[in-house]
Amino acid sequence: MKTIREAQEIILGHTRRLEAETVPLEEALGRVLAEDVASNRNHPPYDISAMDGYAVRSEDIESASRKEPVVLEVVDDIRAGAEPACDVKSGQASRIMTGAPVPAGADTVIRVEDTDCDEKRVKIFVPAREGANIRRLGENLRKGERVLKSGTEIGPAEVGILAMVKKAKVNVYRRPRVAILSTGDELEGLDEPLDERKIPDANSYTVMAELQAIGVEPVLLGIARDTRESLEEKLRQGLGYDALIVSGGVSVGHHDFVRPTLAALGIQMHFWRVAIRPGHPFAFGTGKDILVFALPGNPVSSMVCCEQFVIPAMRRMLGAKKLFRRTVSATLAEDVKDKKGRIHFMRVVLEQSDGGLVARLAGSQGSGILMSMVNADGLLIMPAECELHCKGTPVVVQLLHHTPFQEEPGITTEGKTGHE
Ligand code: AMP
Ligand code: MG
């Protein structure tokens, strides 16, 4: 039996990131950059105003106040996108819009709210230091400088930068195509009529969704029955993909043929069984250019194994550097009993309290109770040697994918957050 870390290391030891491909920028979100990207321009292209106001010489307005404003002659009106018509000399000001180029001679911009003006003259009410309200040439992007590194995950801000440097096509790592197969005589497919004595196939869909959520392309192969013939036919179909994920039929039951059938198809099985709960019958194998994950059949077990073993491997194939789900510290909200011997991933709800996050069990923890995953924010990692965790104990929780969101806006009209 492997420990979770041994299992992950074996899997990642066999996992390579996929080759690069070129995609239109519109499809780059969530992908990983396979090239360094340099800026082809300075941004801003010249010193620009950060405010609507007046471009002036700071030395002219040192004494300015509400009571005794400095009066300057208005010599120009510079719009965004236009060129200044003249320089600003001592005693002068140019009206300037946000984004417009700062004229020569001026070294600061006074916002319109701190001025009063008629057509020809402006009263300045405040002094300003040199450079105030000016965005400097190249302060965002410098021509020729690398702005995004190969290996960067592309989020909305990266998409914006890529657009700014005119990368209409982007080199990214290819997304894995992954076949998903469920096994079991008792299973009923989504497209089959309801038979109340059958077990609906959940795993095909939870695994499909786990993959979709991280930008992997799933292909559903359906259900194989618990015979070598049926399994062989379906597993063979799965061998043409970057990975194959099978669930069920991997335990010690009399009709659990998944491992021998995979071996018969030339898949080298690297291990079977990991010291985790739920999910210990998990197995992993490889063939030529394919990873094979055999998940236990119970829906929670298969999801937990997917989270611990499949997701990190898929993230590596996608070219990502951060392979593992984030963990956070929390405090137990109740006593939790456990069996010794295996690391236990318990489904928990996280709540914010004054002392930080608190974790509470998300209902019944049976490995067939998929509703515990529905209700959970994360998986509490209960160490193998632990039998009892008392209320108030600090614990670590691995977050599930939807957890960056919350119901409350977290901010009041006055801008208070409740954490002050
Ligand atoms: P197995 O690993 O094949 O022994 O299955 C363990 C348990 O998980 C059994 O109760 C199965 O009915 C159930 N199970 C197996 N595959 C699925 C599936 N695709 N969807 C839902 N439950 C399943
Ligand atoms: Mg079965």
Task: Tell the residue number behind the tokens 């109340």, with chain if given.
Answer: 196
Ligand 1 contact, 15 CB (< 6 A): no
Q: Is the CB of 203 under 6 A from ligand 1?
A: yes
Beta-carbon contacts of residue 36 (< 8 Å; ≥ 6 apart): 146, 148, 149, 150
Could you identify the atom of ligand 1 that is nearest to the CA of residue 247? 16
Rounded to whole angstroms, how far apart are CA atoms 406 and 399? 13
Is 151 within 8 Å of 33 (Cβ atoms)?
Answer: yes
- What is the rounded CA–CA span in Å between residue 376 and residue 402? 10
Q: Which residues surround ligand 2, an ion (CB under 5 A)?
A: 184, 248-249, 297
β-pair partners for 344: 277, 382
Region for residue 105 given its phi and psi (left: phi exceeds 0; alpha: psi -120 to 50; beta: otherwise):
left
Q: Is 285 in the pocket of ligand 1 (CB under 6 A)?
A: no
Q: Which CATH architecture has domain 48-135?
A: Beta Complex (2.170)
**Rounded mean pLDDT of 345-364?**
94
Q: Please report, for the chain, the start and end positions of each structural domain, with discontinuous segments joined by +.
A: 4-16+175-318, 20-43+140-173, 48-135, 327-399
| C-alpha triplet 267, 271, 272: angle, nearest 5° | 105
Task: Judge whether 178 and 217 are in contact, CB under 8 Å.
Answer: yes
Q: Which atom of ligand 1 is nearest to the CA of 296?
A: 2
DSSP class of 140: S
Whole-prediction pTM value? 0.93
Residue 301, ligand 1, Cβ within 6 A: no
Task: Lay out the sheet containing 217-224: strands in order across.
Answer: 217-224, 177-183, 243-247, 290-295, 283-287, 268-272
Token couple for 158:
């990266």
Report the atom number in ligand 1 closest to the C-alpha of 368: 8
Answer yes or no: is the C-beta of 206 below 6 A from any ligand 1 atom.
Answer: no
What's the confidence (pLDDT) of residue 122?
98
Tell me: the pLDDT tens digits for 11-22?
A: 999 999 999 999
Residue linked to tokens 């069984």? 273
Beta bridge partners, 123, equal 71, 116
Q: Is the CB of 102 under 6 A from ligand 1?
A: no
CATH superfamily of 327-399: MoeA, C-terminal, domain IV (2.40.340.10)
Helix, strand, or coil here: 213?
helix
AA identity, residue 152? T
Q: Which ligand is nearest to the CA of 296?
A: 1
Nearest CA to ligand 1 atom 23: 297
Of 32-36, 66-70, 224-228, 252-256, the least confident: 252-256
Determine the pLDDT at residue 386. 76
Question: Domain 20-43+140-173: which CATH class?
Answer: alpha beta
pLDDT in tens, 179-222: 999 999 999 999 999 999 999 999 999 999 999 999 999 999 99
Whole-number Å distance between alpha carbons of 35 and 21: 11
Q: Which residue has the CA at smallest separation from atom 14 of ligand 1?
A: 297
* pLDDT of 420 strictly over 80: no
202 Cβ inside 6 Å of ligand 1? yes
- The CA 201 to ligand 2 mean position distance, Å, reads 11
Which residue's alpha carbon is nearest to atom 17 within ligand 1? 297
| DSSP string of 83-128, one letter each residue | PPSSPPPTTEEEEE-TTSBPPTT--EEEEGGGEEE-SSEEEE-S--
Question: 4-16+175-318 sits in which CATH class?
Answer: alpha beta
Sign of CA dihedral 54, 56, 60, 61: positive
- Each residue of 225-236: pLDDT tens digit? 999 999 999 999
Name residue 115's amino acid: T
Cα(299) to ligand 1 centroid in Å equals 7
Mutate to test the pocket of ligand 1, among 181, 192, 203 (most ligand atoms within 8 A of CB): 203
Ligand 1 proximity of 176 Cβ (cutoff 6 Å): no
